[in-house]
Chain A
Amino acid sequence: MKDRGTAVVMVAPTVIVVALVFIYPLVVSLWTSLQYKVLSQPHLTRFYGLGNYRWLLNEPRFWDAFGRSMVFLVVTVAISMTLGMLVALLLDHYLSHRRWLKALYLVPMVVTPVVVGIQWRFLLNAQFGVLTWILQVLHLPIGGEWLVTPLGAMFWVIIVDVWYYTPTVILLFGAGLEAIPSEIRDAARVDGATAWQRTRLIFLPMLKPVLGVILLIRTIGGLRAFDTIVVITDGGPGRATEVVNLLAYRYGLQYFDVGKATAIGWVMLLVALVLTVLYVRFLRVTASAA
């Protein structure tokens, strides 16, 4: 093709930017994870082989954080997917033509994560939080002071994550529902299928690939939870909400132990990859759909 030159010029900036600021740090961080490297003690830097990874596997604090991440992940993904599917199905059933009303359900998606954290701390403040007050009126002992107990902190961190990410499920699952041809819906209705039967026997099987993609996106998102947790609990009380991502941040940018921090990052990438492969195997998710 004679305008191959133009093509190269047009694609070059993307390739250069991605190589410089994406691939370069990846290579460097892999190298860093193989070194003993603490930024505050530069003279001790040396090649360390798999030392950081060996340390990691024997470090209880890592396994505690890993366990918390898994609990957080499973609970938040389960609740947000169930709730999101339910809302999307009901919206599709009762309000399928009110586009602007459906858009209102997506609003939490755009809120800045740090602001999400601030707003929930404000709502749950022990002295004057409006949610604390509402929960008191309802005689539910889960607001205010409970936030500073280990169980309460984890509970609310999960609830906030559900609040924040259920709209993503509503959006994607709703998009899948909308894509089901009206002929199929009409045919099912003529045959006398109830709404529940249509959902269970037609919609859910047809949307299995979409559900796989949503599950994948939510899983990866759940593993990366950081901003809201930092603002709401900062990993506390004690280390009750210190998830892996927060631990990596602490090691890297508070203790400056960048060798260990990057090792944590690479191990978690491996975990994400394993989960992805499992999903692809069992749910036939394709990358192009994600």
Chain B
Amino acid sequence: MRDQRKAGGPKIRRRIAATAGIGFLLFYLVVSLFPIFWIVISSVKRSVDTLAMPPVWWFQPTLNAYLQVFVFENYGRYFFNTTVIALSTTIISLAVGSMAAYVIDRYRFRFSDVIAYALLATRMIFPIVYAIPLFLLYRDLNLLDTHVGLVIAYTTFSLPYAVWIMAGFFAAVPREVDEAAMVDGCSRFGAFYRVILPLTAPGLAAASIFILLLAWNEFLFALVLAGGGTAKTLPVAAAQLIGQREIEWNALCAVSTATIVPLLLFFGLVHKYLLRGMIAGAVK
């Protein structure tokens, strides 16, 4: 009503503001997605087109670069390694972490502050501080260049997240639910596994995003603990590729695209849980 009384002026000004605001949002979106878009389309260009100047926007697509790196070279192996390591880390962290989170929430160990600060501390500690001792320990235990070694390391890094996020979700389920399940003949573990865990599936989804991203994308520890051979992951392989053959941008774009496409698909599937996971702990 107020607006109508004021008539023309403010209305026009507001329309200008809206155009500018939405224009800026669109501009930001284009700028922020363009680098990803460009590397994906460059991966299906012919080498001539990738290196063309000025850049080619319309071209004949080809899968040659993928054929080269994944069939004739070893990158299929690295992709497999990354997948195995990331999935194992995610599953183990969720299983181990949600058990711990359940106990912490239900038994009130007064652990929640400890976990909060532990999580903060893991963020603050410089990676080099534990990269070196872990490297020495792994060398003694013959865990260097093994899948298991990386899975163990990543599980440690992601456990605080798993525990933290899941504890938030468990807290939202009333204790009466556990008690009812146990009256019906479930053991404590049965109540957790058969009743509570299915109820908190969104929490598992939220935690899995963080853990999968961490394990899939991690670079420093993958380089230090498994940079040499059999368990080499995609990020390490890609970083080495840029050092060795900077000119082969097609191959680089193909490896890069293959590295991020699974993450983009996964993000598309579960993005709505991302936020819930991040604020699950914060709103308590």
Report A's interface with B, CB cutoff 8 A: 1, 3, 6-7, 10-11, 13-15, 17-18, 21-22, 24-26, 28-29, 32, 83, 86-87, 90-91, 93-95, 99, 103-123, 125, 127-128, 130, 133, 163, 166-167, 171-172, 174-175, 179, 192, 195, 213, 217, 220-221, 223-224, 226-227, 230-231, 245, 248-249, 252-253, 258, 261-262, 264-266, 268-269, 272-273, 276, 287-290
Contacts and interface: CB of A to CB of B under 8 A. Distances in A.
Given A14-B159, A110-B267, A118 B39 contact: yes
Contacts of A18: 118, 156, 159-160
A224 B256 CA distance: 23
Contacts of B118: 18
A192 B189 CA distance: 56
Contacts, number: 268
Q: What is the predominant secondary structure among interface residues of chain B facing chain A?
A: helix
A118 B51 contact: no
Interface stretch (B26-34, B58-66, B69-77): B26-34
Contact of B264 (A95, A107, A273): A107
Given A122-B252, A245-B128, A265-B129, 5 more contacts: A107-B33, A112-B256, A119-B39, A252-B132, A262-B132
Contacts of B278: 171-172, 175
Q: Would you list the 9 A-B pairs with minimal beta carbon distance, nearest first?
A: A265-B129, A25-B133, A14-B100, A25-B130, A28-B133, A265-B126, A10-B99, A272-B124, A3-B188
B55 A115 contact: no
A153 B150 CA distance: 32
B134 A11 contact: no
B267 A107 contact: yes
Contacts of A268: 126
Nearest to A87: B28
**B: interface residue count bin:** 35 or more
A104 B268 CA distance: 9
Nearest to A251: B128
Interface of B: 2, 17-18, 21-22, 24-25, 28-29, 32-33, 35-36, 38-39, 42, 50-55, 96-97, 99-100, 102-104, 106-107, 109, 112-113, 116-120, 122-137, 152-153, 155-156, 159-160, 163, 187-189, 192, 213, 216-217, 219-220, 224, 234-236, 238-239, 242, 249, 252-253, 256, 259-260, 263-264, 266-268, 271-272, 274-275, 278-279, 281-284
A108 B242 contact: no
Given A94-B25, A122-B253, A272-B124, A112 B260 contact: yes
B129 A105 contact: no
B99 A11 contact: yes
A104 B219 contact: no
B120 A276 contact: yes
A262 B124 CA distance: 14
Contacts of B260: 110-112, 115
Contacts of A10: 99-100, 102-103, 189, 192
A128 B55 contact: yes
A205 to B, nearest CB: 18
A220 B275 contact: no
Given A118-B238, A133-B54, A112 B220 contact: no
A220 B99 contact: no
Nearest to A232: B242
A21 B134 contact: yes
A249 B129 contact: no
Contact of B128 (A21, A118, A264, A272): A264
Contact of B136 (A28, A86, A113, A133): A28
B210 to A, nearest CB: 11
28 contacts: A13-B100, A86-B24, A91-B25, A95-B22, A105-B29, A107-B267, A110-B264, A112-B260, A113-B217, A114-B217, A118-B252, A119-B39, A122-B38, A128-B55, A163-B32, A175-B279, A213-B282, A217-B123, A223-B126, A249-B128, A249-B220, A253-B128, A261-B128, A265-B125, A266-B126, A266-B129, A276-B124, A290-B282
